[in-house]
């Protein structure tokens, strides 16, 4: 069921957005060669406790997960692009790291993700991050009353195709509110002018993700981490966005 939030409720969602943004900023600053993924998860866990927030991941067990997730972050490295389960891995110079984080503050959820290069970058990784960022920006620009879900999806796909990337639609954006995942689904490809008509009060997570040379993925032996079928690297960007009379409001905007 698609739920619309009142202006007062959207204001109540702002602290969750600010908190999620602050955690991702801290994690991006922490990520460096020699840092263990479990250290990043521990940092996020500490920030959750200090803020009196709640993790949306630790007990999360959807049908596609092998077991309850058990961590508070998704950390996807190199050929992993989504749902990366933090494990005993030390980041190396040149790694491409994607971090996805969602938390609840005072009963309201926000969800966001970013990708960063650890240490010395590869040009192709910077390009992939740039394309994914521009796809998110183009999608957010379409998150206005009167437009439709298809306008958001088509904006994402347009940027990807212009860059020569293929698109996987198995996982995409979603509604956000009292829970992390709700209606509507926001695919990363679609036809402009189609789908649910956007209305003030709709709050959604928009999350383009792309791989260098494929759109095919498989699930790692850990039962969670999604990896590219051909070993190519991936990037993932996400913001929680409220649709208002004045246009899109990015609740998870980072300074």
* Residue 212 labelled as part of a binding site: no
What are 163-201's pLDDT values in tens digits?
A: 999 999 999 999 999 999 999 999 999 999 999 999 999
* Residue 236 labelled as part of a binding site: no
Q: Would you list the domain boundaries of the chain? A: 7-250
User: Above pLDDT 70, what percent of the chain?
Assistant: 100
* Residue 100 labelled as part of a binding site: yes
What is the side-by-side strand order in the sheet with 173-175? Answer: 182-186, 173-175, 203-206, 239-244, 247-250
CA angle in degrees (0–180, nearest 5) for 174-254-204: 15
Helix (H) or strand (E) holding 8: helix 7-30
Q: Which is more confidently placed, 15 or 65? A: 15
Task: Report pLDDT for 64.
Answer: 85
When pLDDT is cut at 50, 70 and 90, the band that residue 65 belongs to is confident
Q: If you ran DSSP here, which 8-state letter would residue 84 be given?
A: P
Instruction: State the pTM of this model.
Output: 0.97
User: Above pLDDT 90, what percent of the chain?
Assistant: 98
* Residue 123 labelled as part of a binding site: no
When pLDDT is cut at 50, 70 and 90, the band that residue 63 belongs to is confident
Q: Judge whether 167 and 211 are in contact, CB under 8 Å.
A: no
* Residue 41 labelled as part of a binding site: no
What are 145-169's pLDDT values in tens digits?
A: 999 999 999 999 999 999 999 999 9
What are 125-138's pLDDT values in tens digits?
A: 999 999 999 999 99
- Give the whole-angstrom CA distance, residue 18 versus residue 35: 25
Please check whether the domain covering 7-250 is classified as CATH 3.20.130.10.
Answer: no
Task: Report pLDDT for 220.
Answer: 96
Helix (H) or strand (E) holding 227: strand 226-228
* Residue 45 labelled as part of a binding site: no
When pLDDT is cut at 50, 70 and 90, the band that residue 45 belongs to is very high
Q: If you ran DSSP here, which 8-state letter would residue 85 be given?
A: P
* Residue 174 labelled as part of a binding site: yes
The encoded tokens of residue 83 equal 């749902």
Question: What percentage of the chain's residues is helix, strand, coil (to nearest 5)?
Answer: 30, 25, 45
Torsion, Cα 35 38 42 43, to 10 degrees, reads: 30
Q: Judge whether 199 and 147 are in contact, CB under 8 Å.
A: no
């Amino acid at each position: 069921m698609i739920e619309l939030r009142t202006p007062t409720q959207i204001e109540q969602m702002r602290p969750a957005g600010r908190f999620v943004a602050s955690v991702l900023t801290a994690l991006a600053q922490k990520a460096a060669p020699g840092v263990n993924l479990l250290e990043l998860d521990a940092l996020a866990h500490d920030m959750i406790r200090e803020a009196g927030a709640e993790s949306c991941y630790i007990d999360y067990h959807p049908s596609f997960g092998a077991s309850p997730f058990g961590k508070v972050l998704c950390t996807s490295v190199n050929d992993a692009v989504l749902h990366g389960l933090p494990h005993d891995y030390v980041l190396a110079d040149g790694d491409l790291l994607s971090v996805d984080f969602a938390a609840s503050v005072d009963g309201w959820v926000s969800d966001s993700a970013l990708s960063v290069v650890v240490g010395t970058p590869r040009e192709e990784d910077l390009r992939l991050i740039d394309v994914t960022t521009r796809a998110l920006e183009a999608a957010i620009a379409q998150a206005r009353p009167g437009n439709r879900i298809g306008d958001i999806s088509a904006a994402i796909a347009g940027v990807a195709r212009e860059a020569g990337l293929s698109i996987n639609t198995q996982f995409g954006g979603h509604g956000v509110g009292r829970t992390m995942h709700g209606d509507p689904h926001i695919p990363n490809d679609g036809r402009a002018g189609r789908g649910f008509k956007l209305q003030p009060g709709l709050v959604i997570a928009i999350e383009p993700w792309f791989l260098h040379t494929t759109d095919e993925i498989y699930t790692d032996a850990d039962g969670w981490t999604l990896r590219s079928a051909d070993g190519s690297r991936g990037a993932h960007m996400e913001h929680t966005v409220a649709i208002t009379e004045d246009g899109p409001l990015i609740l998870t905007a980072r300074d």
